[in-house]
Amino acid sequence: MILARVIGPVVSTVKVKPLDGHKLLRVRPVNPDGSFSGSSIVAVDTVQAGKGDTVIVIDEGGSAGVMLGETGQPVRTVIAGIVDGIETEEKVQ
C-alpha cells in the first residue's frame, strides 16, 4: 500500500463494464510529511474519499479484486482507507 492524496474525481462515461458504478479518483503519491512523491494515478474509490483526503492506495490486482468483491476484473488500483493521522519519529501530524 502507498500513501496518496486525492486530487479530484475523474469522470468517464464510456468505460469497460466492470468499472460501471464505481467512483474514480485521481490520486497522487505523497511522503509521510505530505509532500508529493510521484505522478498521479487513477484509483477506484471504495471508502467515499474526497478531494484533499490522504488515503492508502493498493496498486495490485489480486487485492483490488478482493476490495471490489470480485476477482478477475481489469482493476488494479483501489483506495483502501482514509488516513486520519501519521506518526513518524520526526514529527507527529
Partner 1 sequence: MKIGRITGSVVCDKKTSSLSGVSLLLLQPLDENYRGKGTPIVACDTVQAGTGDLVLYEGGREAALALDNWFNPSDASVVGIIDSLEDV
Footprint of partner 1 on this chain (CB under 8 A)? 7-16, 18-19, 24, 26, 28, 39-43, 51, 61, 64, 72-77
Nearer to partner 1, 69 or 72 (CB): 72
What is d(CA 56, CA 23) in angstroms, rounded to the nearest whole number? 16
Read off the amino acid at residue 11: V
Shortest CB 62 distance to partner 1, Å: 9
Nearer to partner 1, 42 or 88 (CB): 42
Shortest CB 46 distance to partner 1, Å: 14
CA 21 and chain centroid, separation: 16
